Structure 1
Amino acid sequence: MTLFAWPKKAAFGRVVPKNKIYDHAAASGALKERFVQQVDQINWAFKLAPETVNLSATESVAEIQIFRITLKGVGLDNEVLKAIDRAIPFPLIFELMQGGRIKLAAAYKRPAQNTTNDKASDRWVVGSYFGTDWQPESAPRHPLPIALDMSGLYEQLLSPLVQNGVAAPVVKGTVLQAHDSAAASYTSATKSEQAVRLTLEQRIELAEAITAQQKEIEQIKARLGRERQFNKRVAINTELRDAKQELQRLTQQQAAVSRY
């Protein structure tokens, strides 16, 4: 997974106190506790803006902020990231740091349409979080992708994360794996699927659909494990087969998109 060499001109380097996030995100007591348990430090590391990357602002993306979060452990609840997203009125890319390792995470963030609420946190729509695997912090970094404007840059930065899949939630300090062996085995694509080019929003919808289908398969498997009547087990097995076929179709479509 590519790490980007953020321009030196874009360096911001300010530590963000957690209580500032609490105030702007209206954090509950439980969410504050997650910050205390999981987050060591929040650093507003870089500010990608017209004056720092020489790209024109757009209506939806005026700037992109890079936040580096030093973790106390390997787990981070997505609600922590969402709280930071709600507190900062720009699209964010997160670099998560822990024990000499780094991973990227981000959600597609866009301005809310026709909002009548004056609260800054309600002026943005924050989608599902996407993340990469851990890699050494010393891994090579590459120049920013070529783009025509800030919106194009945002899409280029998000696209590799979206292709990697929805970030799994943290449960009791462990990360749930969102991959299914049936999905992993399908990488080919039909000619009709190869002909389709998807927008970033459509690729996000596809990634979310795959995650939802994976969860449905796990739920069917759990029902199958509890069922003892033979005829009902047969019916559930049929349902499981159909669900796996749908997962294979979605994964096949995603594999075709990744070739572009």
Structure 2
Amino acid sequence: MFNLPKSTLIQKVVPKNAFDAYTNTKQKKAFAEKIQRITWLNKISFETINLKDAEIKEIQIFKVELKEKIEINDIVNIIDKAIPYHIIFLIYFNNEFYISTSVKHLHPNDEDKAVIDYTFKSVWLSIDNNPYTVELKNDLDWVFQNFCEQLKTVNTNASNIWELVQTQKQDDSLRKEIEKVKSEIARCKQFNIKVELNIKLKRLEKSLTSNFKSQN
């Protein structure tokens, strides 16, 4: 998918029950019913590509093959929290895939677990149409931020990954507020209040337009 060096190759199937310690009965069932196979494809680290690390020590690439075309946010979160390294998930169904990757930090009371700060995702794409790249330059922090930058939906030149996350969260909050106001307009019966809500909606949409960066 990303034409990474052979030195990064792992190509190891990860048993679905490897995450049993992190799941309840319902979640175990979801792993069994929704996932065909999990494969650890690549490991990007100082040992495999000789790039320095700082906050980010390792980037792993996992391929998740599905039994049906669905998004598996909850399952991805379980895997992400169980592994204290940053992961780029390639989630496949037949000839389509989407990408999910999370910015995260180690749990303050358990270094074997991670806390998710924000998840970047792509739309579903054809496997023949992958616009995303993993550029192996500078250091591991730069590699991961550069990848997340490709998935962002806002116009920003963030100086670091945390600034990018904060800007993206603000954008998400704005989108939720727009949907909330639209629902209020649809329910509203009073003309004067409806006018005020429409003015508020236009103001919010203008703010969103100035921030929006469409995904390829």
1:57 corresponds to which of 44, 53, 56:
53
Instruction: Pick the structure with more strand per residue.
Output: 2
Q: Which amino acid aligns with 2:196?
A: A
TM-score, length of structure 2 as denominator length: 0.86
| Two-structure CA RMSD over aligned residues (Å) | 2.6
Give the distance between the partners of 1:230 and 1:91, measured in 2 at CA: 51
Would you say 1:110 and 2:105 are equivalent positions? yes
Whole-Å Cα distance in 1 between the matches of residues 208 and 132 of structure 2?
33
After TM superposition, where is structure 1 displaced by more than 4 Å over at least 4 residues in a row? 139-144
Change in Cα spacing, 1:73 to 1:210, as seen in structure 2 (3 Å) is same
Contact 1:206-1:250 at 8 Å conserved across structures? no
Asked if 1:221 corresponds to 2:182, the answer is yes
What residue in structure 1 maps to residue 139 of structure 2? 149
1:66-215 alignment to 2 at 5 Å? 66-112=61-107, 115=108, 117-118=109-110, 120-121=112-113, 124-139=114-129, 144-161=134-151, 163-164=152-153, 198-215=159-176
Return 5+ residue gaps in structure 1 as ranges: 166-186, 188-192
Whole-angstrom distance in 2 between the partners of 1:127 and 1:50: 24
TM-score after normalising by structure 1 = 0.73
Aligned partners of 2:191 and 2:130: how far apart in 1? 55
Quick check: 1:29 aligned with 2:19? no
Match of 2:14 in 1: 16
Note the residue ranges of structure 2 that are not aligned, 5 or more in a row: none
Cα contact 1:38–1:76 (8 A) shared by 2 = no
Local SS of the residue matching 2:91: strand
Of residues 44, 49, 69, the one that matches 2:40 is 44
Deviation at residue 35 of structure 1 after TM alignment: 2.2
Q: How many residues align?
A: 215
Cα distance change on mapping 1:204 and 1:118 into 2, 3 Å: closer
d(CA) in 2 for partners of 1:197, 1:57 = 19
Structure 1 contact 12–47 (Cα < 8 Å) conserved: yes
1:4 and 2:36 matched: no
Q: How far did residue 108 of structure 1 move?
A: 1.1
For 2:196, the equivalent position in structure 1 comes to 235
Does the C-alpha gap of structure 1 residues 142 and 200 become closer, same or farther in structure 2, counting only changes over 3 Å? closer
Instruction: Compute the displacement of 1:164 (Å).
Output: 4.4
Amino acid at match of 2:183: A
